Amino acid sequence: MKEEQIDSIIRLIKREVVPAIGCTEPAAVSLCVARATETLGRCPEKISLKLSGNIIKNAMGVGIPGTGMIGLPIAVALGALVGKSEYGLEVLRDVDSEAIEAGKRYIAEDRIHIDHHKNPPSILHIEVAVEADGHKAFAVISGSHTNFIRIVKDEEVLFEKSCDEASAGESDEELTEAIVYEFATTAPIEKLRFILESATMNRHAAELALNSNFGHCLGSVLRSDGRRIFGETPLERIISTTSAACDARMGGAPVAVMSNSGSGNQGITTTLPVACYAEEIGADDDTLARALILSHLTSIYIKQSLGRLSGLCGCVTASTGAAAGVTWLMGGGYDQVCAAIKNMVANLTGMICDGAKPACSMKIASGVSTAMMSALLAVNGKCVSSQEGIVCDDIDTTIHNLTSIGRDAMTETDHLVLDIMVSK
């Protein structure tokens, strides 16, 4: 692999694997509000938002870090009051008890108005208008969680690019699973060690939840009472650790996780099963780094054709990445990694996304257990055949069959899910 291609892939990974505090959809809304407020130059008297359906869906039921509150209003208020756009998806890093009380007052004063954008240019689309003292500012994020495409103050356009330009820079490297595997297993190890931070950061979130009370406490329940049923096994430790990190994130813990493709849950799911299994077998850090790169980059590759948000649950793509990484740690080569991915596609395709919420930990647990099963089958020479379902002989065709279902066929499912959620 040429050095230019190696460097291009590293840039891609570093763009897609970044720290985030809390669910990335409300964080992106806070980020957009913060940028609009900074442009206005004063605290807004009024904030109006138009949001795509997928943003609303993924922000309705999730905890906002450190607040003990759920949903968009507090994310919007805090974005205006203490948010800093320079922090990116850690925009609410400076939230404290005083800010939370101020945010509650801001909400009570009915300063925030949120509308559903019925025909956005992207399924990930946020428009924020702020007003104060006769001045206005406007900020738009579209296409990805931190991608600003328009900034306006009063009547002056300060920055603008088209939606086509916004999506054009999403991927500077067209991947195949063969490229993913070659990169992960042969690129100079000194260029890959940065990925170890994902294991450190996400394991910290898991440890916090295992000793606290966040979300549905799936991780801590599995770690305690669950051992009576599942036993104290590597599988139990892998599932409980991964689901615990999700408990923390979805439950509003003030902790950063390393995300993947704009999703903290996806970052958790691509990272922790691989890190936990590596610990079980005593793998060194360099081996872990290659396995994590294989997991993260496989997930990024799948998301390239699926899109940032869709009707398909993100744990499907992330746990498929984890299956690839674990298979390699089990001694599998390229053929076995492809087999594990096919086994995942045969099993989890069609799992719906019904928004970010504490119950995501249960979906992640399902994805992780399936990843371990798929890896075990693969290293034992077992693979779902091309005579079964949507699996094909070619691995990239199989992946694109999965993503076309999630991106295209599940669009109406996605609309119905949103309708059900907002009508409750």
Q: pLDDT tens-digit profile of 364-373? A: 999 999 999 9
The answer on 189 and 141 residing in a single domain is no
pLDDT over 70 percentage in the chain:
98
Pairing type for strands 46-51 and 112-116 reads parallel
Residue 306: DSSP 8-state? H
Q: Judging by DSSP bridges, how do beta strands 63-64 and 69-70 pair with one another? A: antiparallel
183 shares a domain with 139? no
261-319 tens-digit pLDDT: 989 999 999 999 999 999 999 999 999 999 999 999 999 999 999 988 889 999 999 99
Q: Classify the phi-psi angles of 262: left when phi > 0, otherwise alpha if psi is within -120 to 50, otherwise beta.
A: left
The CATH code of the domain that includes 380 is 1.10.4100
Residue span of the structural domain in which 342 resides: 177-423
- Which of residues 68 and 197 earns the better pLDDT score? 197
pLDDT by residue (tens digit) across 10-51?
999 999 999 988 889 999 999 999 999 999 999 999 999 999
pLDDT of 170 over the 70 cut: no
Does 7 reside within a domain? no
Query: Per the domain annotation, does 6 fall within a domain?
Result: no
Judgement on whether residues 309 and 233 belong to the same structural domain of the protein: yes
Q: Is residue 380 part of a domain?
A: yes
- Position 4 in a domain: no
- The runs of H, that is alpha helices, within 282-385 are 285-306, 314-329, 334-348, 360-379
In our burial notation (b when 16+ CB lie closer than 10 A, e otherwise), range 206-238 reads: bbbbbebebbbbbbbebbeebeeeeeeeebbbb
Would you say 239 and 222 are in contact if contact means Cβ atoms under 8 Å apart?
yes
- The string of pLDDT tens digits covering residues 277-291 is 999 999 999 999 999
210 shares a domain with 137: no
10 found inside a domain: no
Quick check: is 416 in a domain?
A: yes
**Own/partner long-range contacts of 7-10 (Cβ < 8 Å, ≥24 apart):** 8/172, 8/173, 9/173, 9/175, 9/179, 9/183, 9/187, 9/297, 10/187, 10/191
pLDDT of residue 173: 72
The answer to whether 302 touches 319, Cβ cutoff 8 Å, is no
Q: Let me know whether 234 and 133 are in one domain.
A: no
